[in-house]
Structure 1
């Protein structure tokens, strides 16, 4: 390589170095900011996880302490004092609270608590369906039959999470109204459903026998 070529290379390298330094002085803060954002984001994410874990543990401890009370009324009072931080936590606490309120004889309060869960649109459908179902069971002797039938029919809609349990309750309503044929037809169909559990299938068979019917053989399910 000639001296001229060597000189040109050195000058070119100097120009490149000067440009790099200029770029670093002008835009170096972008890189620094990116590092700060990445590190800060990771730190915040760890803090959030730790905070959520701490809240969950505090909620669990408070619920366990409340459930250690001897009387249902005392457990209900203790549960009412527990703080929640999300709709899901509030629903879980509400189920426990309503169960103890019902056990303590405060059925109306239990129904109101369950109904408040049932109308929370930000909860998963299964939570709302369970709340409605439990509230209806608690009102078996107080809510008009027509109203109970209407609500159970809504829970028995195709694709609903508690569809089959609602069908069982509708069969019991048929029985209470003296409509044995309708109850038997509903129970036979319930036993044949592809999604029916063994326990529910057996309960339906027992009720069919009690009503004087004969459970139909279970059709083979095609996989």
Structure 2
């Protein structure tokens, strides 16, 4: 039996807690995918500013055509054929990581390529790290996932609140309810945390039986 299962059995009804943790993981996916969309929009604007418009449009058309493909294998094949480097290559890599259910190994390999790119801006590097933690899940130990998240959870990191949220969920998975609640509660007053994340965190804290305010 895993630490997570032990924790669930000790604290509350197993089904309720399992639903809570699954919901937390789903929220994480939504958050990461939303950030992918934001990063893609930023990258598109930068390409238009920095490169020849026709070249940028051609690459954009190729990427959007690949994303429109209904078949994951067709989409992956189209993306594999794109020759791009730097932040363009990073965006292609993130798009290649869009179908973990179809090929989890290929998804993680694409993310590792992005993470290993030299000189990449944190907006792309850190996003790939977040995505890897979520996609890998239990394939990596709790400590391995913590080791990936800690460097991107510091002050000034672009996705710091998301990293801190996932770290709190890892505390929960590891059986430390109090640490999870403490970490989530800190996000309620974090100026970098968006409002929807704060609302989500408050709901999770309440579901865990904690208080959204520190004890006086």
Q: How far apart, CA to CA, are the structure 2 residues paired with 1:123 and 1:67?
A: 23
Match of 2:89 in 1: 90
Q: How far apart, CA to CA, are the structure 2 residues paired with 1:61 and 1:160?
A: 31
Aligned-residue offset at 1:54:
2.2
Structure 2 stretches of 5 or more lacking a match? 1-48
Q: How far apart, CA to CA, are the structure 2 residues paired with 1:114 and 1:183?
A: 27
- SS of the counterpart of 1:148? helix
Deviation per CA, 1:169-189, whole angstroms, max 9, x where unpaired?
111111111111111111111
Structure 1 stretches of 5 or more lacking a match? 1-48, 218-223
CA contact (8 A) 1:72 1:103 kept: no
Q: How far apart, CA to CA, are the structure 2 residues paired with 1:130 and 1:64?
A: 20
Equivalent residues in 2 for 1:127-206 (5 A)? 127-206=124-203
Equivalent residues in 2 for 1:205-216 (5 A)? 205-216=202-213
The alignment's C-alpha RMSD in Å is 1.9
Q: How far apart, CA to CA, are the structure 1 residues paired with 2:130 and 2:196?
A: 18
Match of 1:113 in 2: 110
Q: How far apart, CA to CA, are the structure 1 residues paired with 2:212 and 2:105?
A: 38
Q: How far apart, CA to CA, are the structure 1 residues paired with 2:66 and 2:208?
A: 43
Give the TM-score taking structure 1 as reference length. Answer: 0.69
Q: Which has the larger radius of gyration?
A: 1
Match of 1:7 in 2: none
Q: How far apart, CA to CA, are the structure 2 residues paired with 1:140 and 1:58?
A: 36
**Runs of 4+ off more than 4 Å:** none
| Larger RCO of the pair (alpha carbons < 8 Å, separation 6+) | 2
Aligned-residue offset at 1:103:
4.0
Q: How far apart, CA to CA, are the structure 2 residues paired with 1:192 and 1:172?
A: 18
Aligned residues: 166
Aligned-residue offset at 1:67:
2.2
Q: How far apart, CA to CA, are the structure 1 residues paired with 2:171 and 2:137?
A: 14
